[in-house]
Structure formats: structure tokens, C-alpha cells
């Protein structure tokens, strides 16, 4: 199958049990879905050692109807969730993950007649989405968001491929959901194809699934790539699904809670959506009318667990998507990339290269911005191979000592962006101009005179590692 996997779980429950055993999970009982879950989640995410939080006995809801937040929030849970070496830190984690991703061999999902998700099914008048403990996450949220770390599954009506994305979902009433998809995203392009034919867009949304399914749902893979097949490869076994009765779409068999229905054309129904505390840390996109999902069936396991990933600042999580950027660079033919790291989710990207020719640094930045992973960046900083992109102090040092602002910073305007960008001006927003500028900061020694560049006095990484290893018992530095 072309994969080695060391995942110790096959579903969300298995993952949470393993996290609990590692001491990485906290059980919280009796919290309120209205803001309190959100506040506790933020506190736990900002802690020095962030923890996964499993909420039960949520105010007004039966015991067993649970919500988990910060599901993968630290190096320890990242290693557990994705089968990585727990001893690794910093860029070494990205390197290992990138090596694994580079060997990808898609594995097609398989249909099964039943699974944990078919334990319960509500249809017609029995549907009541409000029976699940849906949080209002932030103070100015204009609704309760059941889908934050969700998986939205659709099929291209032309190409017969299945797309998966994470798009936020709120509960409007007992059988109607609101969904927000950013311009240019595959889910948005697919639903428009159905609407152009005067049809509702069939959709399945999973609100609780294991970390691998969640991770691939949010990948910026090219058009035509099915993320379910990537998940199968990561698991080392095909994703099992039951077929939706109304839509014919795949419903992951181990999901905790899934709905199937149709995103109806806006002329038929659309409702006010937002504000929502977004991943940028702002309520930037305000309130607008957005499409809705008319739910036909609700499937759930006994004692379902909703997977919550409310936006919030978490500087401690490992930016695994840096590995996807690294691979995108290689696919674009950019050689000698030494590492990639992302700061502030995606706003600041640092790419380290071993310069081989004039223009190499700029090419790396442009290739990244031109790939699907170029979506909504703000600063791309290119550094030499002696700079660890995962070390912010090193990156700042390179900028301070190697970048001449007058000649080594370029800006690109009208780059692919999103209404979520808090920096879009009121005028541009009114004109629906959702683009932003990006600065490419060349913080490398200028290629054509790098042989004359002042020599650095710092020790090479290997020398530092050797000294640290030899003197570790005396220095006691960790």
C-alpha cells in the first residue's frame, strides 16, 4: 500500500483514550455551552502545556452528549494524532511529516452496510439539530456553531470526484444549517455547479471525526484530488463509509455525528450568517446572507462527540501544513528547500533554501504563492540554509542582518484572499474586492555577492548539537 503507519487509533474515541492515557486530556463536567466552553478552550489552548478538553454533562444536555476541543494542540498530541516520533521537536517534526507525505499513494474508500455512525438515525419530523450541545463560542458570535472542525463532503457533478473541506456551520433551526465557504474554495465552486442546473447541492457534514480525517479536510489539495483517499493512505487502510440514503454521498462509518442534505440555491433560501469569531482573531466578515443546508437525515453514534476547533490564538501547535507547502515547492521544481515554517496560522511563512543561483529565493516565494497553498498569505520570508525557519529569533536575525528593505522587499497586490481578512479596507469590502497584498522579504545573503558577505560568528547547528549533547548533564537546559 506504500505506507507505514503507527496510528494507535481508528476513530475519535480511540484517539481521545490514547491522549488521556498520555496525560494530555482534561475532563470538564457541567460547563455551559453558552460562552463557557469557548472560554475554557481558549484558556487551555494558551497554557504553556496546552491540553485537549473533553466536555461532558454540558448544561441543559444529557450526560454523554459531548464536545471535544483543542484536539491536537501540542507536540505530544501532534505525534499521537499523526503517528510521528514524539521525541522530535521543531523543524524535525515537519521534516518527518513531509517525508511521509511525499510517499503518498491514495487509497480509495470502501462502502460498508453499517458502522458506528448508523447506531441512530433521525429523519423527517424527528430531526432536531438543537438536541446536540452546540456552543456559542465567542461573545459576539451571531449564532451557535456546530461545525468548526467539521468535514464537509460533496461530489463534483462533472468530474465524479469527492471533495472534502472544513467550512464553518451554524444551526439556524432544528433542520436548517448555515454554511460559510470562502471564495475560490472547491466546495463553493462545486455547489455553484449544482445551482447553475437549478438543483440543490448534495452534502454530507461530519461534526465529529478522528484527527486524520479532520486534517485532510482542511488541506488545500488541487482540484480533483479526493482527500478521503489521502486519509486512507495515512491510516494504512481504506476509509469505510456508508452511503447516504438521500444524497448517495459517503458518510464516514466511524464519524460521531453526521448530517446529509442539500445546500439549496440562494433564491430558494438564504439566511443571515455571522458574526463569528474567526481564526484571524477578529469578527471581520460581519453578517451577510449566506446559503443554507436543508437537513434530510441525522446520523449519530450513541453518546456522540462534537469536534470543536473554535478559532483562537494557539502559538503552541505544530504547523504541520508547512510540510504541504514544502511539498508544493518541490512539485513546482524548486530544489534545495531546507525547511518551511508558518507563524500566525498562515500569515507569516518562513522558507529556508540553500541558494544555488540568482533568483532562487524569489522563485521559491513566487512558487509558493502560485500554488494552492498560496491562499491568503501576508509575509513570505526567505532565509538561507544556516537559518532555522522554525526559530523566530533566527528568522528575525536574518531579516535584521541580511535584508535591505529598499531592494529586497517586493509586494504583490491583488493576491487570493478572503473576506475574513481584517485588513481589507471598508471601501474594498463594499466593492467585494477580497484580495490582499503580500510582501516577499528576501532575507538571504544576496546571491551574486554572497562570497563577500561578512562571515557569521555563530557555530553551525551540528557543533551546537554536539556541545549540547556532551554537556547536557551539567547544563540541564531543557
Residues that bind ligand FMN (CB under 6 A): 148-149, 163, 165-168, 180-182, 185-187, 218-220, 309
| Least CB distance to ligand FMN at residue 383 (A) | 26
CA distance 309 to 303: 19
Q: Would you state the cell numbers that stand for residue 288, as one nine-digit string? A: 451577510
| Least CB distance to ligand FMN at residue 27 (A) | 23
Which C-beta is closer to ligand FMN: that of 66 or that of 215?
A: 215
CA dihedral for 410, 412, 417, 421, sign (positive or negative)? positive
Coil, strand or helix at 162: strand
Q: What angle (nearest 5°) sits at the alpha carbon of residue 458, between those of residues 455 and 461?
A: 115
Instruction: Identify the bridge partners of residue 353 per DSSP, sorted by sequence position.
Output: 337, 384
| Least CB distance to ligand FMN at residue 298 (A) | 21
Which C-beta is closer to ligand FMN: that of 181 or that of 424?
A: 181
Which C-beta is closer to ligand FMN: that of 299 or that of 416?
A: 416
| Least CB distance to ligand FMN at residue 418 (A) | 7
CA distance 364 to 450: 18
| Least CB distance to ligand FMN at residue 192 (A) | 12
Please state whether 235 falls in left (phi above 0), alpha (psi between -120 and 50) or beta: alpha
The closest of 159, 179, 177, 153 to 167, measured between CA atoms, is 179
Q: Which residue's CB comes closest to ligand FMN?
A: 165
Coil, strand or helix at 236: coil
Which C-beta is closer to ligand FMN: that of 149 or that of 319?
A: 149
Which C-beta is closer to ligand FMN: that of 188 or that of 360?
A: 188
Q: From the CB of residue 23, how many other CB atoms can be counted at a distance below 10 Å?
A: 10
Contacts of 465 (CB under 8 A, 6+ apart): none
| Least CB distance to ligand FMN at residue 228 (A) | 12
CA distance 68 to 27: 9
Contacts of 173 (CB under 8 A, 6+ apart): 129, 130
Which C-beta is closer to ligand FMN: that of 318 or that of 398?
A: 318
Judge contact between 352 and 412, C-beta under 8 A: no
Q: Which residue has the cell 444524497?
A: 247
Which C-beta is closer to ligand FMN: that of 126 or that of 423?
A: 423
Contacts of 21 (CB under 8 A, 6+ apart): none
| Least CB distance to ligand FMN at residue 221 (A) | 7
Contacts of 348 (CB under 8 A, 6+ apart): 342, 378, 379, 381
Instruction: Identify the bridge partners of residue 240 per DSSP, sorted by sequence position.
Output: 110
Q: Would you state the cell numbers that stand for residue 251, as one nine-digit string? A: 458518510
| Least CB distance to ligand FMN at residue 311 (A) | 7
| Least CB distance to ligand FMN at residue 180 (A) | 5
| Least CB distance to ligand FMN at residue 152 (A) | 8
Which C-beta is closer to ligand FMN: that of 156 or that of 394?
A: 156
The closest of 269, 152, 156 to 213, measured between CA atoms, is 152
CA distance 369 to 436: 12
Which C-beta is closer to ligand FMN: that of 7 or that of 170?
A: 170
Which C-beta is closer to ligand FMN: that of 255 or that of 355?
A: 255
Amino acid at each position: 500500500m506504500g505506507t507505514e503507519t503507527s496510528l494507535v487509533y481508528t476513530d475519535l474515541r480511540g484517539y481521545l483514550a490514547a491522549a488521556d492515557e498520555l496525560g494530555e486530556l482534561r475532563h470538564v463536567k457541567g460547563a455551559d455551552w453558552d460562552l463557557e466552553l469557548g472560554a475554557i478552550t481558549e484558556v487551555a489552548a494558551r497554557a504553556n502545556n496546552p491540553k485537549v478538553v473533553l466536555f461532558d454533562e454540558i448544561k441543559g444536555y444529557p450526560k454523554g452528549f459531548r464536545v471535544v476541543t483543542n484536539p491536537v494542540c501540542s507536540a505530544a498530541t501532534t505525534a499521537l494524532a499523526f503517528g510521528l516520533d514524539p521525541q522530535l521537536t521543531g523543524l524535525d517534526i515537519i521534516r518527518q511529516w513531509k517525508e511521509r507525505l511525499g510517499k503518498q499513494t491514495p487509497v480509495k474508500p470502501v462502502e460498508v452496510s453499517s458502522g458506528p455512525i448508523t447506531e441512530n438515525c433521525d429523519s423527517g419530523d424527528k430531526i432536531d439539530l438543537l438536541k446536540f450541545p452546540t456552543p456559542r463560542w465567542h461573545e459576539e458570535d451571531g449564532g451557535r456553531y456546530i461545525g468548526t472542525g467539521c468535514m464537509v463532503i460533496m461530489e463534483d457533478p462533472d468530474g465524479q470526484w469527492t471533495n472534502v473541506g472544513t467550512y464553518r456551520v451554524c444551526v439556524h433551526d432544528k433542520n436548517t444549517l448555515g454554511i460559510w465557504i470562502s471564495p475560490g474554495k472547491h466546495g463553493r465552486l462545486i455547489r455553484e455547479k449544482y445551482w447553475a442546473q437549478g438543483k440543490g447541492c448534495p452534502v454530507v457534514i461530519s461534526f465529529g471525526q478522528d484527527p486524520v480525517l479532520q486534517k485532510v479536510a482542511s488541506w488545500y489539495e488541487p482540484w480533483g484530488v479526493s482527500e478521503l483517499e489521502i486519509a486512507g493512505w495515512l491510516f494504512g487502510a481504506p476509509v469505510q463509509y456508508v452511503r447516504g440514503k438521500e444524497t448517495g454521498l459517503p458518510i464516514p462509518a466511524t464519524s460521531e455525528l453526521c448530517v446529509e442534505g442539500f445546500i439549496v440555491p440562494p433564491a430558494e433560501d438564504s439566511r443571515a450568517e455571522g458574526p463569528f469569531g474567526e481564526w484571524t482573531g477578529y469578527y471581520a466578515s460581519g453578517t451577510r446572507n449566506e446559503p443554507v443546508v436543508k437537513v434530510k437525515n441525522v446520523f449519530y453514534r450513541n453518546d456522540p462527540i462534537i469536534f470543536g476547533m473554535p478559532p483562537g490564538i494557539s502559538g503552541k501547535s505544530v504547523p504541520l501544513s508547512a510540510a504541504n507547502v514544502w511539498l508544493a515547492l518541490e512539485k513546482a521544481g524548486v530544489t534545495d528547500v531546507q525547511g518551511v515554517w508558518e507563524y500566525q496560522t498562515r500569515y507569516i511563512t518562513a522558507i529556508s533554501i540553500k541558494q544555488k543561483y540568482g533568483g532562487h529565493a524569489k522563485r521559491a516565494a513566487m512558487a509558493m504563492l502560485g500554488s494552492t497553498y498560496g491562499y491568503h498569505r501576508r509575509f513570505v520570508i526567505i532565509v538561507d540554509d544556516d537559518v532555522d525557519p522554525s526559530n523566530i529569533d533566527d528568522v528575525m536575525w536574518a531579516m535584521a542582518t541580511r535584508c535591505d528593505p529598499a531592494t529586497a522587499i517586493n509586494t504583490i497586490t491583488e493576491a487570493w484572499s478572503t473576506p475574513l481578512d481584517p485588513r481589507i479596507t471598508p471601501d474594498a469590502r463594499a466593492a467585494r474586492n477580497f484580495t490582499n497584498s503580500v510582501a516577499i522579504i528576501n532575507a538571504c545573503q544576496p546571491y551574486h555577492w554572497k562570497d563577500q558577505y561578512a562571515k557569521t560568528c555563530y557555530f553551525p547547528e551540528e557543533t551546537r548539537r554536539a556541545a549540547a549533547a556532551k554537556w547536557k548533564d551539567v547544563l540541564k537546559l531543557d
